């Protein structure tokens, strides 16, 4: 039985749904490999209309009190809670995320993030006194939000929720691979009572519609999540009209197992974290850093952890390992793997991959040189590396030997020791003994070095999208 055809994703412009009429961009189910719908470029003209509507809606939205804005965010959370099953199932179809993970990270998490933003907005220091001056925080203006396909609903809410809480209006360009979940969220915002023009959606590719959005001189800030190269291009284009930017550009996160860590628990958790969403997560622990003396035991534990994976139809709740999001992503990962060969790679002993779908089997490499591409590059696929260290100073050196600085994990029997070690790491967020980012929706998230700059989530995420005015008297 054929799955329902989702049609062509329309853009939301000035509170009205507008269907772009350009050439079709197929939206493909990564498991069935069949199109489930399509989108098209909004392009320069329709994007400009969306920005115009956002500009027009700006003054009234800025005058809306932070408490009233927070109430609307709570209302949107309530609407999304009622549609969480629909939203997560849609994302499973769009990009192949296993249903159980989609329910937790794309169905349950977005409403909790919105409620965290609402609470932060009510407590936020919109006005404060410093050295005899009054500091007033207000909106920047129109925020352009450009979101990826890997965690689509969460990324939309992280950007849009903060921008709206701060009093900005938003024009969202979601990934062309996952347009339908964006439209569901935008429709929910209208249902929740957000004024027309406050939250706009335009569809299309980065080089066409994304570029039109970033280049519009009326866009005051661009919040972008994606590759390093694309983020650098976005920042350069935005700088042409002095727009500020928030960039989240991926990572090569280390899970550091200190000598006193519970090795079986930590290895299993690090492998699971590294392979979440088939490795398509910016904060996936794709480097597992362990003591030299534990390497043999770690190899055995890694093999056991891989054997717990269940590959299959991502709609099946039993599936824990799904396809990559597209044929393009599958081919990119395969190309990177061709550079490494199979030498010293641990692979599952009992994992049967389906014949259909954009699957790449997981593997964990041992003994690669620190300059090897699989150690240096963000693969964005089910590929992990194990690195070793002689002592804690060496562990810090190995973990920090990366162009990226998004996140890390530290494992130790002593949480205070783990926290002290965490302070030596050059990353934006460190999780101790298995805490998950999605468990703390009010904690800021963002990176250093090639992982970008700026912060999302919570009060820090709101502050990142405000302008400060100092009044001296």
Known catalytic residues are 248
C-alpha span between 335 and 351 (Å, rounded) = 22
What are the distances in angstroms from CA 419 to CA 285, 415, 431? 18, 6, 9
CA separation for the pair 345, 335 (Å, rounded): 16
Euclidean distance between CA atoms 272 and 291, whole angstroms: 20
What are the residues whose beta carbons fall under 8 Å from the beta carbon of 64, sequence distance 6 or more? 167
**Cα–Cα distance, 223 to 180 (Å, whole number):** 20
- Are the beta carbons of 350 and 316 closer than 8 angstroms? no
Q: Which residue has the tokens 């329309």?
A: 10
Two tokens, residue 442: 């009010």
DSSP state of 248: E
Which H helix or E strand runs over 463? helix 458-463
Radius of gyration of the chain (CA): 22
CA triple 187-193-198, angle to 5 deg: 75
Report helix angle 415-422 to 392-400, nearest 10: 50
Q: Write down how long the chain is.
A: 473
Q: At what angle do helices 109-123 and 152-165 cross, to 10 degrees?
A: 20
Cα separation, 136 vs 467, in Å, equals 8
Please calculate the CA angle 217-219-224 and round it to the nearest 5 degrees: 120
> Strands, DSSP E only, in 307-360?
345-346
C-alpha 72/C-alpha 233 separation (Å) is: 34
| Parallel/antiparallel/unpaired status of strands 244-248 and 452-453 | antiparallel
* CA gap 105, 110 in Å, rounded: 8
Q: Where are the beta strands (DSSP E) in 11-164?
A: 11-13, 16-18, 25-28, 35-39, 127-130, 133-139, 142-146
Which residues on adjacent β-strands are paired with residue 366?
A: 386
State which H helix or E strand residue 143 sits in.
Answer: strand 142-146
Rounded distance, CA 310 to CA 318, Å? 7
């Amino acid at each position: 039985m054929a799955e329902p055809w989702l049609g062509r994703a329309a853009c939301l412009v000035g509170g009205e749904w507008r269907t772009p009429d350009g050439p079709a961009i197929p939206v493909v189910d990564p498991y069935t490999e069949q199109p489930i719908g399509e989108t098209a470029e909004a392009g320069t003209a329709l994007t400009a209309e969306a920005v115009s509507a956002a500009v027009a809606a700006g003054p009234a939205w800025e005058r809306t009190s932070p408490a009233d804005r927070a109430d609307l965010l709570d209302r949107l959370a309530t609407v999304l809670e009622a549609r969480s099953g629909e939203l997560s199932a849609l994302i499973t179809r769009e990009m192949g995320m296993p249903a159980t993970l989609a329910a937790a990270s794309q169905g349950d998490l977005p409403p909790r993030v919105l409620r965290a933003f609402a609470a932060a907005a009510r407590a936020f220091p919109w006005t404060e006194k410093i050295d005899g001056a009054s500091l007033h925080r207000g909106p920047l203006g129109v925020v352009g939000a450009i979101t990826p396909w890997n965690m689509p609903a969460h990324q939309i809410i992280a950007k849009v929720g903060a921008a709206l809480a701060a009093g900005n209006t938003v024009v969202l360009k979601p990934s062309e691979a996952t347009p339908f979940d964006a439209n569901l969220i935008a429709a929910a915002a209208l249902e929740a009572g957000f004024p027309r023009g406050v939250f706009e959606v335009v569809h299309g590719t980065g080089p066409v519609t994304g570029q039109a959005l970033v280049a519009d001189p009326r866009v005051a800030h661009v919040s972008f999540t994606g590759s390093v190269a694309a983020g650098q291009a976005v920042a350069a284009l935005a700088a042409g009209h002095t727009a500020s930017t928030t960039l989240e550009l991926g990572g090569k996160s280390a899970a550091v197992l200190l000598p006193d860590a519970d090795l079986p628990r930590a290895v299993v958790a690090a492998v699971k974290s590294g392979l979440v969403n088939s490795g398509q997560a910016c904060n996936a622990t794709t480097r597992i850093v362990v003591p030299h003396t534990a390497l043999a035991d770690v190899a055995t534990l890694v093999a056991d952890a891989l054997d717990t994976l269940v590959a299959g139809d991502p709609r099946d709740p039993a599936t824990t390992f799904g396809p990559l999001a597209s044929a393009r992503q599958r081919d990119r990962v395969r190309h990177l793997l061709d550079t490494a060969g199979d030498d010293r790679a641990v692979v599952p002993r009992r994992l049967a991959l389906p014949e259909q779908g954009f699957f790449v089997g997981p593997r964990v490499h041992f003994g690669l040189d620190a300059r090897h591409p699989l150690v240096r590059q963000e693969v964005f696929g089910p590929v992990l590396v194990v690195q070793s260290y002689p002592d804690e100073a060496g562990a810090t050196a190995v973990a920090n030997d990366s162009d990226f600085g998004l996140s890390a994990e530290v494992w130790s029997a002593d949480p205070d020791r783990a926290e002290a070690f965490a302070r030596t790491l050059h990353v934006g967020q460190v999780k101790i003994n298995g805490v998950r980012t999605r468990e703390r929706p009010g904690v800021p998230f963002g990176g250093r070095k090639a992982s970008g700059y700026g912060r999302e989530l919570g009060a820090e995420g709101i502050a990142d999208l405000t302008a400060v005015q100092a009044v001296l008297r």
